[in-house]
Structures are given as structure tokens and as C-alpha cells.
Structure 1
């Protein structure tokens, strides 16, 4: 069970809160609000103090009139961090809920036990939307809801849909307090609509954005938050073009042609997002994407990095080859692996031409620098300039990159360079950390989780002092006070700039932004625009902690316009428009299939008078045999949701979805008829819904088959008979 009851109060709970934290705490105890403070200014501490003030409502179970609290996060890593922090700083029972714990398949009894035992529920946003929709807990059973990184609550994001449930609650007097936390109020680059975006966010959360009371107080806040020195590191795009690079690109182009022509047999194709065309079979797309990613690494970082980067597709293709369903697919992976091995040997042979002794390894400082692009050299030389002969305890450096494979590639090049450079060997201890894009539990996702946990723990305790990471560390993840942060890839959005810069929490921190020399002017203008937007937000918000009007009902209603009116079951579960498509795919995934196919819904797009509607055809295994037509909408996505919503309602009416709007399992089907058809089994103490075999249970009855049925296959020129056996129950 993911809960801990901490009886002793930690040192952190004895921290003296700052004046602005007390002011903001008193404000949110009276009404909903979004707390906006710079990174490192103590937003989470305000949330913890609020939880403690609401804790008297959580002492009893919900059945006995008690309440529960929710701490909602946008990512798994952030949720894990906040759960640990709450266990450490409070004596409340804390439950931790993420998809990796298989919470989607928990029984009602399991959820009831978790909610009964744990007073604070911490997890990702979608899980809380699901348990509210499925009526495991009501929105009025909560005393306080804390939403971290709440600027994500736009459109159909789970945080937004949670607030839709808040708005739909019947008893408004029992609604929980909602506290949003963020250091970035604008998502994306909507810098010309700052006021409009902020007012929309306030309407979504039914409360005002609040920060410190005056500019003087804001300066005090900045003393506790991040204010690093910013530096622009430029590099030239003009670099030596090796003939081998062109040769490798031609080989990959020929490989792409061969892959596209490879006949994989009857593999189900996928529709594109707009339903207008068919995608390539995903097996081929996977190969093409990995090869394109390798070309990107080679162009960005050079041939030396390419010698390392080529190993990633080789390993990935080898894993896929071993799991291939058919011999044809296995042969395709063998072919692609042979191409990658050929490229790898060509690169290594090129690198070894620089060495007089052919037996020497190709890892030397000259080879690394000569066969790296100016972008890679700028990073290597900057690390040498900043960290030469420096005490490793004084270095806490984060390097942010955009792609997962880039993080690995940059890490291995840095590692080789540090090992070969004597003045860096004792100073730097690098590591890397990447996000996970797998939502299905697998060996790979578990290994990534274990690696990431080890990497971030090593960085926190000082075993490593330079961490190359993807955007998994941009938002909220609390690492020790970093004094060096490098934005190695181009900054694409305002919140990326604020979040990466916010990791530099040390008082003498350096924030370095890498850019091509030709893009220097545009990057400087972009950063000035970001800084101006940040100042405009401060000017708009400072002083708003004073009494002010709450968002108007008209503005709130504008943010929660229903595409389709939510459907409510008799038990109180809700089907929202945003949940219809995921629920339909979940139902189809549980339909019986063989090893050669999957059950998926099929949408056909039709256009009438510039409006779109789709025809939904369910798999043959489904109880829905007719075609479902959507209503007409302006976008394909809306039409798909409309058809999926109607399908889910039909499935519920036909008994394929239960009262919690979840697919009915085989066990539930058997249990439903067991009282009528198998009542006489009770005298044998036999439960017909339990498994009859397995390591934990023995089979109750031996299976025997007629000898005549063994090897009973049709033979050429031999008469065959077909028998019909009918069985009728005599009870």
C-alpha cells in the first residue's frame, strides 16, 4: 500500500513561514485562488500549511462525516516528489496513485479501502478525473484540492475536466477549496493575450490569481527565488562537411525505400488524425523515425557523436526483432540492423584514420573535437572553461535538451571528453535522465523508471554533479540548488524559458542559452519578449491579494461550454465528452481477439456543407452491430467524440458498461448469471467466478478429451464428417 503515517514531525515543518506566505495562506483559507510565485519562493510550503489547517476535517472516514484532500500533479515524477514531501512534512496518511500501479483495474473495494485509509490522495490529474467520473468518491467528499502546475488546465486537459466536475456538483455549499500553484501562468507563446489568458485561468479555477501585495514585497520574494545571470553561447553553423556524412545519408535513404517496399503481409493500418488518409503500418514508422533521429544526431553533433548514437537504433531494433510476431517482420529488422552495423563500422573506420597506430582506440581529445560540430564543441569548451580543476561539491549543473536520444548521446560524448581531459576528470561526474513515453507497463518503462530514480537521487546526494536531461525536469521537480543550467536546444515557448531558468536556484547561478550565430538576433529578441511578458504579468498581478471581485458566472460558463451534455448513470457516474474516446478504446481493447489482430473502432469521415460527421463501425466482437453516425461539427475530432459518446451510451444500455461506466469483465458476466444457473454448485463450496488453475490454485476437475479427437485433421481424398453436439442443462 502506498501510504505512510509519519508520527514524528520533521525539521522542515518547524520552518518559520515568511510574511508573504502567511498572507497568501490566509487568503486561500477563505476562497479559491491560484498562487503565483517565482520558482523557489515556497509555493509548495503554502500548500502544506493549508493541508494542515484543513486536516481536522480528515480525521474521520467519509462515511462518518470526514473529508479527504487531493494533491494533483501533471507528471508522474512530480507526483512522486510531492507524495514524498507530504509524508515527510505532515503526519497525515498519504496515498500515491499513478498508472504504473494499475489503478485503472482496481476494484471498487480496493478504491474504498484506499480512500478510507489515506487522508491525502496524491497522483496525476487523469486518475482523479476518473475516480470522480466513476463515482468512487464525490467532489463534495473533498475538503481541499491542490493543483500543482495549474497553468496546464486548458481545453480538455484532465485538470480542466476535474474543474468541470467541480462546476457540475449539485450541492455548492459542500464544494472543496481549490488552490492552484504555478510559477508560469502563460502556456505556449500567447504573449499578446496575457490579460485574456489570465482571466480565462481565473474563470476555470473559480478564483483569482494572487501573489505578493506590493513591489517591495516582490523584491523580498526575489531574494528567496531564482535570479541567475543569463549568458548567450553562440556557435557557427558553418562546419567541415565530411564526405562520409553524405554517403551515410544516401544509405539511409536507400534503406527507407527498401523498408517502404517490404511486404509485411496483412498488418492492420491506422487512420490519420483527420481520417483523410491511412498511415503507414506502425512497424515501418517506428523504423523510419529511429533512422531519422540518428540523422538528426549526426547533423547536430557530428560523426563522433554519431558513432555513439547509432547504437540506440541497433539496440531498439534487436529488441523488436526478438519480439517480432512473424518471420517476415523479423527479417526486416535483421536487414535494418545490418544497415546500422554497416554505418557504425564506416564511422569507426573514418575516426581511426586519424590514428597512426591502427590498434589504438578512437577515443582521443583531438578526434572528439575534430569530428564534432561547432554546437558540440561549444558545450565541451564551455564545460572546460567553467569547471576546470573545480571542487566537485561546488558544481550542480543541469543541461536541458529536447529529445530523449539527444540526452543519451550528449551524456556519452561528455563522459568520454571528461575522462580524457585531466583537468575535468576529478571535477565532473555526469549522468543522464529522460522522460518516458510509454503508458503501457513494460520492461523498458520499468527500467527507465529505475534509471531515472537512480539518476535524480545521485544528483541530489552529490554522487553526480552534471545531469543531462529532457524536459522531464523542467516542471516542478525539486533538485538541489543548481548553480549552472544550460538550455542546449532552442527555447520554443515562454514556459520552457521560465521553467528551465527556474531550475537555477543558487544565488550565484549561471543560465546559459545556446544558439546558432545566425539566429542570435532573433533569439535575443525572443528572450526580451519573454522578459517583457514576465514583467507585464507581475505588473498586472502585484497587489491583487486585496479584496477583489470573484470571476463572474458568465466568464466561468464560457470556459466550460459542453460539446455534449454529460451523461449520468443511475448510480451517479458521469460520462464526459472528453472521456468518450478513451473509454471506447478501452472497451475495444478488452474484447476477445486472437494473436493476429486487434479490435479497434473504425471511423469514416464524411463532409457536408463544410461540416464534418463520421460513421463509426464497431468491431465484430462488439454487441453494437449497426453503424453509429455522429452529429455534424467543424472538426474531425469533435465528430469522433460525438460518435464515441453515442457508442458508450449504447454500450451502457446494452449492459456492456457497468454502473460506473467501465467495461464489464468476464468475471462480472459469470457472477451475474451464477445465482440462476449455478446455484446447485454452492453445496460443493465452489466459486464459479474464481480461477480454476494457476500457481496459487489447483484445478478442481481433471480435463479429459476423447481419443478420437487427437490428431483429427482432414486428409486428402478421405471422407470427412461434421458432427453437431447439442448440450441442454437439466436444472
Structure 2
């Protein structure tokens, strides 16, 4: 492997030092073998630079300083590994582009070893670990909770990592610990004394309260772990990084894609202090694999706990399991949410709140700090009425989606429910996020189901266009179609040539107009955060709508990790968030998966 900089081309690694890390059918990384990292670092052909945030290293060519890759925390039990971007290197004399994927090279470059989650570490390391007999966990007594007779239990200053401190001799510099606000300390004190649902606005720092509680409960119960459960896989790694940075504790990030029997065994034997996982992963290990017990935890935090209000959600199943434990072995419980129930009217709201509380153990309180209410941001509500030409487009797009999806699935069980979401254009818009998630799931399982992934991607591209049309208007969506999606243009040609399509060139959504009006009134010290559904919409909104008109706000896009091999190499999320938090940029457009570091703004 050589440096991809044409002015350098230095030889960096041999193929025997690389491996293809196969996380799933669609997620494959070209990576440095983890057991060789120290030896390669000592050779000084590569340079490992600490990142701005999260302690993750950037990897550059030592000769020319060209970026090559970065560490990703997606290995077993959150283990880090060095992954390379194919567009940044020369591999066996061949150059690759940003759109090339490592998974397409698996059968082309046979000299590079292939490993999955179970084989992530070298066979010698794996055999050594497996040869060691499993330690039986010691019987646990009652969980120890904070007491008002011990004032030190409520002190937060020994719980957060301070500036320039180092963990276990690591050279990774850590950020200054955040100073909790008064309402966060109130919430921390409340959570120590009883099971609690904490209601605080988005961005007000709920995660810091969770970090304080998990750290204190670890001190009170050194032999037990804490757990933070999230709903979506991206949040596993984001929350794990945040907790490790705030507390300095050993945090394992596990989900279905990286959990192995060995990583769970090490977890059970005390390798980590906190587990961050999806609720589904924890349930599968507790109820199916039976290699993990809820009694191994002194504290469990449910992020976005309002999902527990629906009986079939995994959070509800976790709560049922907790309620079945003996009183003395039941972990302290903290739920985090900005709104426990959706309030349509007073009577239905009361009933939903009653059902929500019934999901939690008896005595669980709901706490909303008064001071935090003042931090609730102004939410812009805009009309959702659509133009006649947009309605016509959405109806045609709905029919194309329905027909092609039925053709692809051939009446498979996967189609159940989807037809109802596409029953008419209004339902399609309301179920947009679920429909997009369903297609992503189909894409990931396409090969296993005998479906062409390209056909699923085409439908996802059509959903992209639908989102651009409903959010920005047809004057943005149709050129996107014509520019990048010729197959879909052909499917829509009949509508584009019909009288019903007249006027699409000037169609701008009411949402966009309302946003522009609001931004013109933005105060000099205020900032705006705009959420959209897809990356495509985020990029178009900034590049074609906001960049020139609101140049003084320095708008930027924050769309998280992505790109070839699961990495974004330009305008990285951490840098974008730093600019927004510092006020250098006052306008950020983001997809719904946003790094949790945007807080207290």
C-alpha cells in the first residue's frame, strides 16, 4: 500500500499487514491489523495524530502529511481499528475513487486477509484469550445507593475528567470537564435518591446528568457495571465516546454488528465500567444467549425513554425484566426524554401519561427542572399545505414506489405494512421516516433475500427526491432528477410532459419560505439549528438556498459519518459542531442523527 498523494507515493504497508474487516454484507473496511499497530507506529511510515474530539486518531503519511484514514470504534466491544479510505491510497498499484467500496475488492485482492467480528483479532491472541478459564462472577449483595447521611455521595467534582488528565497512561489528551449547571445538579441529586424520568429540552445536557449518575453508582458499587441503552446503532458509539470523555471510565460500545461471545465474556469479567448498547442487544444477551444478567448492573439509563410508552418497544421489555428482579438487586433507573408523551389534547395526554408511568417500576418519579424549561428553544411551526403541482408529483412518485416495491418483493412478508404506508400521498409523507428505514433494512439484507441491492438503492434515491420536493420544492427536486437519476426521469417523463407539471420550475415549498423569513429575523447573538430528513436535502438546502442569502450566518452541514468505507473525510462532524458551539457558525443544517455534543447552546 502506497500513499495516494501523487507527489509522494511512499510505500507504507505490505498487504500482509492489512485485512478486510467484514462487519456485515454492506459494511467492509480496509484496515490495519490491530495486533500490528504498535509495530507499524514504531516504523514511522505512518503518523497517528490525536483528533480534535473523542480521542480518535487521524492517520497521515509521515512524509507528506496527506490524510490516509482514521481510527473507528466499531470493532468488538468498541475496540478501535485504523481504517483507510480507498481514495487516499494506492493499493497494489491501482488508484480508487471516493465511490469505490472495500466490499467490492474482497474477491479481487485475495492476498489480503479477511476477518469478521469473531476473527477480528489474530488467531494467536484469540486462542490465548479463549484458553483462559472464564471467571465466575462473585455473588452480589444488595445494590448500594446514595444516602443523605453521606454528603460526599452528592459531590460531582470527583466524577468528571479534568483538563489535561490522562487515562491509564494514554497519550490521548482529554477535553476539560463540563461544568454542570444548577438544574443538572438538581437532576443528578434527584436521580441518586429514586428511580426517575428526567424531562429536559433537547440540548440542555441530559447526557451529562446520566454521566454523573453512572460514575457515582460505579464508585458505590465497584464490582457492578452501569448501562446506557439507546434506540439506534449510531447513538451507541456517540454516547459511548461522550461518557468516556466526561468520566474517564472504561466504556464498551456494543450493538448487534460488533458484539461477540468473547467481548460479552470480557464484559462479564469486569473489562469495562459502563456498557452502552441498543436495548435489543441487551435483551438478546439476557433472554436468548443468557450470557449476561441484569443483576450485573447497578444503574441503567434509558435514552429517549418516551419510546417505552409503546408496549412492543424494546425499552418496555427491558422495564418488564427490571420489575421482575428482587428489590435489592434492581438497578437504579434513569429515563431521559424531552417529552414523555405526545400531547394532542388534555384528556388523551393524561391517559398516555398514565400508561407511560405504568411501564416503569412503582415509585418512579418524573422530574422537570424549572430552570431547564427556560432553555427550550423556539420551535418554528410552518404550514404544510402543498401546491397543486407538488401534489401531482407526489402522487406519481407514490405509484412508482408502490409498483416497484411490490415487483421487487414479489409479495414477500417484507411487504406487509409497506403497502399501507403507500396507500396515498398524505400517508406516504407521514410515514416517510419509517419507509426510508424499511428500505435501508431491505438494502442491508438484499443479497440474503435474493434481491438486487441496486434496485433498492434506486427506490431510496426516489425517496431522496421526494424529500427534497416536499422540503424545498420541485424547482430543486426535478433538476436533481435530471442531473443524477436518468432512470427515474424516464419513469416520470409522462408526468413532466403533462399540463399538470406546469410551473414546477418556480415551485418553492412554504416550509422553505417560512425558514428564510425566520432567519432574516435571527438576533445577532442567536443561532439556528435546522433538522431535515436526508443528507441530500441538507446539502441542497445549504448549497443552493442558504449559502449566499445568509452568508453572514456561515451556514454549514452536519450529517455525521458516511462516505466511502463509512467515513467522511471532509467537513467532519466534530469540526462542524465545534464551529457551531463556539459561535463561529450560527446556522447548522443536520440530519436527525446528530452528534450529542451540541449541548447547552
| Contact 1:435-1:471 at 8 Å conserved across structures | no
Residue 41 of structure 1 deviates from its aligned partner by 5.0
Question: What CA distance in whole angstroms lies between the structure 2 residues aligned with 1:455 and 1:16?
Answer: 23
Question: What CA distance in whole angstroms lies between the structure 1 residues aligned with 2:492 and 2:283?
Answer: 47
Question: What CA distance in whole angstroms lies between the structure 2 residues aligned with 1:250 and 1:56?
Answer: 59
**Aligned-partner SS, 1:310:** helix
| Contact 1:94-1:119 at 8 Å conserved across structures | yes
Question: What CA distance in whole angstroms lies between the structure 2 residues aligned with 1:196 and 1:285?
Answer: 40
Residue 288 of structure 1 deviates from its aligned partner by 5.7
Which residue of 1 is the match for residue 587 of structure 2?
466
Between 252-261 and 33-42, the greater mean CA deviation after superposition: 252-261
Match of 1:32 among 162, 187, 195: 195
Q: 1:344 to 1:135 in 2, by over 3 A?
A: same
**Aligned-partner SS, 2:78:** coil
Residue 261 of structure 1 deviates from its aligned partner by 12
Question: What CA distance in whole angstroms lies between the structure 2 residues aligned with 1:410 and 1:145?
Answer: 39
Match of 1:2 among 78, 81, 95: 78
**Within the alignment, does 1:433 sit opposite 2:554 as a pair?**
no
Superposition pairs of residues 60-459 of structure 1, within 5 angstroms: 66-100=223-257, 102-103=258-259, 106-107=260-261, 109-115=262-268, 116-133=270-287, 134-153=289-308, 154-169=310-325, 171-187=326-342, 189=344, 191-206=346-361, 207-211=363-367, 218=370, 220-223=371-374, 225-226=375-376, 228=378, 269-271=411-413, 272-273=415-416, 287=458, 290-291=461-462, 294=465, 297-298=468-469, 301-310=472-481, 314=485, 336=487, 339=490, 371-373=506-508, 375=510, 378-379=513-514, 381-382=516-517, 385-386=520-521, 394=525, 396-402=527-533, 405-414=536-545, 418-419=547-548, 421=549, 424-433=550-559, 456=577, 459=580
Question: What CA distance in whole angstroms lies between the structure 2 residues aligned with 1:456 and 1:221?
Answer: 22
Which residue of 1 is the match for residue 211 of structure 2?
48
Residue 175 of structure 1 deviates from its aligned partner by 1.9
| Contact 2:538-2:557 at 8 Å conserved across structures | no
Number of equivalenced pairs? 400
**Aligned-partner SS, 1:29:** helix
Question: What CA distance in whole angstroms lies between the structure 2 residues aligned with 1:168 and 1:119?
Answer: 24
Question: What CA distance in whole angstroms lies between the structure 1 residues aligned with 2:405 and 2:232?
Answer: 36
Question: What CA distance in whole angstroms lies between the structure 2 residues aligned with 1:29 and 1:261?
Answer: 52
Which residue of 1 is the match for residue 95 of structure 2?
none
Q: 1:344 to 1:47 in 2, by over 3 A?
A: same
| Contact 2:301-2:335 at 8 Å conserved across structures | yes
Question: What CA distance in whole angstroms lies between the structure 2 residues aligned with 1:375 and 1:3?
Answer: 46
Normalising to structure 1: TM-score of the pair?
0.45
Q: Name the Cα RMSD after superposition.
A: 5.1
Question: What CA distance in whole angstroms lies between the structure 2 residues aligned with 1:286 and 1:71?
Answer: 33
Question: What CA distance in whole angstroms lies between the structure 1 residues aligned with 2:402 and 2:233?
Answer: 39
Residue 453 of structure 1 deviates from its aligned partner by 6.0
Q: 1:89 to 1:190 in 2, by over 3 A?
A: same
Question: What CA distance in whole angstroms lies between the structure 2 residues aligned with 1:276 and 1:302?
Answer: 25
Residue 155 of structure 1 deviates from its aligned partner by 1.0
Which residue of 2 is the match for residue 670 of structure 1?
none
Residue 111 of structure 1 deviates from its aligned partner by 1.4
Q: 1:55 to 1:182 in 2, by over 3 A?
A: same
**Deviations 1:18-48 (CA, angstroms, capped at 9, x unpaired):** 3x65555444334322223444555434333
Residue 178 of structure 1 deviates from its aligned partner by 1.3
List gaps (5 residues or longer) in structure 2. Answer: 1-76, 81-158, 164-174, 423-441, 443-449
